[in-house]
Each structure stands twice: as structure tokens, then as C-alpha cells.
Amino acid sequence: MIKRAFIGLTAPRLEYDLVEPDPKVPETIPIPPRLILLLNERLDSTKETILKKGSMVKNGDRLCLYRDSTEYVLSPVNGTITSIASYTGDLGTYSTYFIIEKEPLYDEKKTVTEFTSPVEIDPANRFLRALPGSPPFNAFMNPDKKIQTIVITGTDEDLLSDTHQYFLANHLDEMNQGIKILKQITGIDQIALTIPEKFKLPEQPEGLQIFKISSLYPGAIPEMIIKDHLNKVVPAGGKPEDLGICFISSEAVVSIARAYKGKKFIYDKLISVIDKEGTKTMVRAILGTPIHRIFRQLNITASEKDRIVIGGPMKGLASYTLYQPVLPDMDTIMIQDKKDISHVSDYPCINCGKCVKVCPAHIPVNLLVRFLEAGLYEESADSYDLESCIECGMCAYVCTAEIPILQYIRLGRHELLKIRSDREDSDREDSDREEEEAANA
Amino acid sequence: MHNQNRYTVSNAPFWHDGDRIAKTNYNIMLATLPAVIFGIIMFGLPALGVIAFSMSTAMIWELLFNLVSKRSISIGDCNAAVIGLFFGMMLPATAPWWIVVVGTFMSVVVGKEIYGGIGANPFNPTLIGIAATMLSWKTYFDFDAALVNYNFSFKALYPLGALKHQGHAAVDLFSMSNLIMGKQVGAIGTVFGLGLIIGGVYLILRGYIKWEVSISYIAGIIITALIFRMAKPDLYAGPMFHLFTGYTLFGAFFLATETSSSPVNLIPMLIYGLTGGILTILIRNIGAYPDGTVFAILIINLINPLIDKIRPKALGRGVSNA
């Protein structure tokens, strides 16, 4: 863990890691006998699922829950579904997991052409969203928010991670091919690439804008990239898509290139794994590999009360299980020994002002946290800029009172959405009732 | 799924810079040491007694309040110790024990705990205690009378008192080097200007206090004193005299910077400090009290919530949904 510098006059400097010039070949994790695929849709007990326990699946099958589902996963292997169950995620999100028992004989080579002809957005959206890097093709499907700019991230959002940079450093050719295909699929010409400011591109790619991203955290967070390099500001509570900007990771672009070139689905996900000592290893694992397989291969033991983090140290999510599967957007896995876990207190804010100094979004964190602690979520959003937060975690990192500020903020946003949707529902009911009464009169 | 270990699940960020309230308070106490040790050497054992008694009673009051109000014991954060230390530093070495007991009660219980404890106090707790005792038992804060039995090697007159009574003529009685080196009559921990500066600079460099407040407070003192001096040189003392006498430096580095009663945004911090400095000199030069630091800082504590509304617009605020 990075500790406070002795001289504390200036704001803390948290620097992004820079990928090594000649990185080692990533360690390959063998395909496990049992894969877990997580599907971003809630299991509905009143509806009948298409796939059932015992269903056979083939490599490349598009697995969905129901006939009208838009969410899907791709089966990386031939096998049998042994379980379909509900998975509880962060802040009451529910998803569904399939457990697939792999057939002993594994035939990998299979050519698929569903998405290659024609090279268009519809088939891409229908099949390729589950590629490693999870290309957000659905963002291009929204007619209300037309995407005009694509930003390819060769920089990693969080500290310690190297995954996006790895593709930038090692697979630039494939990235260029992927960018060409991406242009063809989306019809968008305005494409930018983010690179770390200290990274030297071997050649200037044609027709690409290059954004040199500051090595200081949180420079590589999408909202900051938009502010610093596109001179636009994402509206509070909005998304980059509202401004017509879509972010795609370098890994997603490479996966697209490989998928179209080989006419096959890609399942190999690259992950930066950080062990308890802080040593980083790149691993290549098939989507759906439970992370305990990765830990076993790297000789990492997860003991009671350790913390397993999916994502980096500032923005990640802690996982409660080692059966957490490798997902298309999982760039980093970090494990902390229980003795390294930072303390969290129930102290009130002492108004020291360090959070206000480090906040890149200029939020009055000292006041916001008081309102959030009191559960006043609407006031927090109206007067204290709850929705401007870009969730970089700097405030909680420097907090002298050790308040879990980011947790309050995430909870506050979640509750705010709930309050608003409840209100819309009741408004709708009211207006329905009024209409009914008017009709009756 | 199988039986497995239970892991710690919590929210991001998973790193922390390691700062704690207690650590901040240890550093503040460390920073007061040059001034406190100097005071103890100069005023002898009674000074040590006042400081030690003040710190311990402040902690006992907090402990008692914790027990009475059935809240978790909070003396471990050392905030009460710091309040007690500051209170002791602002007393003359001969202060009677009951002033310390009453003063720390006013500071810790009335100044802080009844508002909800640390972080909730609208005023600097130490100053609540000092103001209450100072207004109630004025004679004990008359430093000339309090220290009458000491034999000093320098002019045994409280500089600000002398200034109040004799006007500018008093300034010549004190040499600047004596004032800076602490050779003056005053409270235990606030006479040694150089020591306070060393402590203040240490805290600023370590980032434990708001430097904007300290610097602008001192700027306020210097500018206002200079204006007075230029207007009537025969009546008012110069800025350096004001800076190194009374509670000025202690106020600038240790009192005005108390976290929960001071602003957090840049411009408000500058206004806050500057106003404090201006008010201090106004009270000294025009008001009834020889030293205005206590009341000046209490007044800026009062305006803090109002001025802290001046803040930059948050990211994405007022941007229409494009």
C-alpha cells in the first residue's frame, strides 16, 4: 500500500504503472473442467428458461435466458450445463450464472460466419459484445444518442493495471486492423486513442487522434479524458454516451480484429494479477475460468479475511467468492492480505478539507458526506453535487477520519435512482388515475 | 457452492494513505513542543503543572461525557488532549487549579461535546474555554499581576498590556530579538515566537494544518497593523510587534486552523484568515482588550459556514444534457 509522503503540503501523487517495454509472455491458465459464465440478466422464476440443467452446449453457442432476452454469453467450450442459478452482485444487482461441465474432448477450431457477413453493427451487437474487453456495441444502437467519437483506451483506468497498455505495446498491428473493422461496423471516422504520456508509439497511426494521458491518477478515467482532451464536460449524472462519445478498450479492438480475421469467437482474456506482495503477473485465461484456478497456478493462497479485489485498488469491487469467473471486462485481480487491509472508522467528518483539495470534480465532499450519512440523498444531489462524482476514490484515500466516502456515494446514487424511479411510478399511477376519472366523468 | 473461506468484502478504494485523526493530533502535539518546553524552562515547574493538569482534566472531562452520554470512548483520538494542551499553553504559569478545571470543562464539554463531539463544534473548543474563563476571572489573565513573583532578566511587562496603556511609547521598552526569542511576559506556550513558527511550519509542510489560513491570518495582521502604523505612527505599534506578542502566532498556526470550525475551500480560507488577522488588530488598537486574538478567531468561526459557500462549480454542474 502506498503511504502518505512525509511532506504533505501538496496533494498526493498516485501514478499509473507504465507497461514494461518487453513484457513477459502472459502465463496461460489451462482450461478448467468446469466453467462459470455470468449473464447480466436476472433469473425470473415465473418464466421458463430456454436452457435447462443438462442442456448440451457447443463452443460458440449464444446462450440467453429467455426468447426475448438481449443479454447473452458465448459458450467457450462444448459441454453440459450443470447448474443455472441467481448471483447477487454489488448494491442489489442480480445476474445469473451457468455452470458448464466441459466435455473431455475439446474441439476448439470452429469457424463462425454469423457475424462476418455483412460486417455491420447488428450482427456485431448480436454476437461480439461478449468478446474479451466487452466491446460496447449496444451503445451504437441507440437512435437517441448518436455516437460521433470513439475513444480507444490504451491506458488503464485504475492504478496497478497494465492490461490495456499491454495491447498497445504488443499488438499495435492488430489494433490497427481492429480500428479499420470498427470504422466499417460503426461508420464512425472520428476515432481517438489514449496512450500514457510516457509511452512512445513506434509510429503515428493514420487517421487517429492521439490523447496523451497524464500519468497521475485519475487522468485516465473517461470523464477526465473527456474534460482534458475533448474539452467537453459530461453532465452531472450523465454518461459519456450522452455527449456522443463511446469508450472501447484496446483489448476489445484487438479481439474484434482477431474475431473477424479468424472468423471465430475469441475467449482468451488477459488479466493483470497482483499478489499480496504487490507483484504483478499477466495471465491469459479463458472466459468463465473461476479465479481460484488463476490463484492456484500463481501459487497465491487466499486465506480467511483476506480481500479479493476485482479491478484496481481505487475503483475495484471486492469479491466474496473465489468462484468469481473471469469476465470480458475483468482487467485486474488483486489480493490483499488481511494485515494490509486499511481500517475504516465510524468517525464523523472533522472538516480537514483534504478531500476537497484532491477531488477532481470539485465536489464539496465534506458537506456531501454529512448529508449522505444522514440518508438525505435528494438534498445531496440537489445542493452538494452527488451526481458530479466520477468515483475515483481519492477522497476516501486521503480521509483522515477514515470514512468510507466512496461507499456512501455509491449507495447514495443507488438510493437516488430508486427514489426517482419510485416517484415516476407513482406519478404515472396518479396520472393514469386522473385520466381514468376524467374518462368516467 | 463449496465450503470456503470468508473474505473481507468492502467498498473501494482499497488503499488509504494511512492518516488517522490520532496521528494528526500526535503531530500537532509534537509541533507545540518547542514552545511548550521553552515555556516550562522559563516559568519552571508551575508551568509544567498547569500544562499537565490541563491535558489530563480535558481528557477526564471527555471520558466522563462519553460515559454519561453512553457513547464510545473517544479520548484515544487525542483531540481532548490537544484541546487541554492548547488551553494550558494559553494560561499564565500561575493559573490556579480551578481555572484549569472549569476552563477545560467549558472547552471540552461546552465547546465540543454538546454539539456532538469531534467534527461538529462550530467554534474552536479551546477558545470557548479561554473566552469563558477570561471574561469571568479577568484578574487571572492579567499577565503582569500573575507573574509578579518571577525575576526575569528582561522587562517584566506584558507587551500588549503596556501598549494598551502607554501607547506607542511602550514599543521601545521591548527589543524585537527578545520578543522573538520568547523573552517576554505572557502565557506559558505562546511567548516563544520562534518555536511557534517552527511548529507551524512543520505542520504546514506535513500537511496537517491549512496553510492558507495561517498565511492569510498573518498577512491580515501585518497589513492592518501597517495601515494603522502609517496613519498614526506615534500611537500604534508596527506589524512585527503585533506578530510576536500575545497569542498572535499561536492563533495563526494552532487556533485558527482548527479543522471543524474553519473553511475548506481556497478562497474562503483566505478570507477567513485575513478577516481574523484584521479583527485581531482592530480589537487590539481600537477595542477594549489588550489581545484580540481570542475574540477575532471566535468571530471568524462564526462566519465560517457562510463564507465556505464560495466554492468552485462541480464537474458537469449546469451542463445541459447534450
The predicted structure's pLDDT at residue A1: 54
Contact present, A54 and A111 (Cβ < 8 Å): no
Task: Convert the pLDDT of each residue in A48-62 to its tens digit.
Answer: 888 888 888 888 888
Judge whether residue A416 has pLDDT over 60.
Answer: yes
Interchain CB distance below 8 Å, A9 and B205: yes
Q: What is the pLDDT of residues B81-97, one digit of tens each?
A: 999 999 999 999 999 99
C-alpha cell at B295: 475574540
B108-125 pLDDT, tens per residue?
999 999 999 999 999 999
Interface test with A, best of B2, B16, B204 (most A CBs within 10 A): B16
- What's the pLDDT band for A405 if we cut at 50, 70, 90? very high
B157 touches B173 (CB < 8 A): yes
Residues 6+ apart with CB under 8 A from A21: A169
pLDDT at B322: 42
Identify from B15, B112, B310 which residue to disrupt to test chain A contact, counting A C-beta atoms within 10 A and taking the largest count.
B15
Structure confidence at residue B288 as a pLDDT band (50, 70, 90): confident
CB proximity A84 to B under 8 Å: no
Mean pLDDT of B57-75: 95
Mean pLDDT of A82-91: 88
User: What is the spatial distance between Cα A241 and Cα A149, in angstroms, rounded to a whole number?
Assistant: 9
**Residue B217's closest CA among B287, B278, B303?**
B278
Place of cell 489581545: B291
Pick among 1.10.3470, 3.40.50, 3.30.1370, 3.10.20: CATH of A275-340: 3.10.20
Q: Give the pLDDT confidence of A217-271 residue by residue, as tens digits.
A: 999 999 999 999 999 999 988 899 999 999 999 999 999 999 999 888 999 999 9
- Determine whether the interchain pair B11/A323 forms a contact, defined as Cβ–Cβ distance below 8 Å: no
Does pLDDT of B1 surpass 80?
no
Chain A (352-381) residues lying within 8 Å, Cβ to Cβ, of chain B: 352-354, 356-357, 360-364, 366
Residue B50 predicted with pLDDT over 90: yes
Query: Minimal CA–CA distance to A281: which of A71, A23, A99, A18?
Result: A23
Sign of CA dihedral B279, B284, B285, B289: positive
Interface touch B13/A305, C-beta < 8 Å = no
Looking at every residue in chain A, the average pLDDT score rounds to 90
Q: What's the distance, CA A151 to chain centroid?
A: 15
Q: What is the pTM of this model?
A: 0.92
The pLDDT of residue A245 is 95
Does residue A174 register a pLDDT over 50?
yes
Cβ separation A313–B14 shorter than 8 A: yes
Is the CB of residue A235 less than 8 Å away from at least one CB of chain B?
Answer: yes
Nearest CA in chain B to A6: B206
In chain A, the percentage of residues whose pLDDT exceeds 90 is 65
The confidence band for B5, taking pLDDT boundaries of 50, 70 and 90, is: confident
Task: Provide the β-strand partners of residue B26.
Answer: none
pLDDT at residue B279 greater than cutoff 60: yes
Residue of B nearest to A85 (CA): B1
pLDDT tens digits for range A19-77: 877 778 899 999 999 999 999 999 888 888 888 888 888 888 889 999 888 899 999 98
Q: Where are the domains of chain B?
A: 21-140, 166-182+200-307
Helix-helix angle B79-89:B125-136, to 10 degrees: 40
Query: Would an 8 Å CB–CB cutoff place A234 in contact with chain B?
Result: yes
| Residue B304, pLDDT score | 95
Q: Which residue from B203, B199, B308, B298 is spatially nearest to B256, judged by alpha carbons?
A: B298
The sign of the dihedral angle between the CA atoms of A311, A312, A315, A319 is: positive
Q: Strand pairing of A73-74 and A34-39? A: unpaired
Alpha carbon distance B168, A249 (integer Å): 72
Contact call for residues A88 and A94 (beta carbons, < 8 A): yes
Task: Write down the ipTM of this complex.
Answer: 0.91
Q: What pLDDT score was predicted for residue A110?
A: 65
CB distance B120–A404 less than 8 Å?
no
A322 touches chain B (CB under 8 A): yes
Strand duo A332-336 + A268-274: pairing: parallel
pLDDT reported for residue A68: 87
- CB-based contact (8 Å) between A421 and chain B? no
d(Cα A345, Cα A412) in Å, to the nearest integer? Answer: 19
B1, B8, B204 ranked by CB distance to A341: nearest: B8
Q: Which residues of B touch A334 (CB under 8 A)?
A: 14
Q: pLDDT tens digits, residue range A145-171?
A: 899 999 999 999 999 999 999 999 999
Across residues B242-249, what is the average pLDDT?
94
User: In angstroms, what separates the C-alpha of B13 from chain A's closest C-alpha?
Assistant: 4
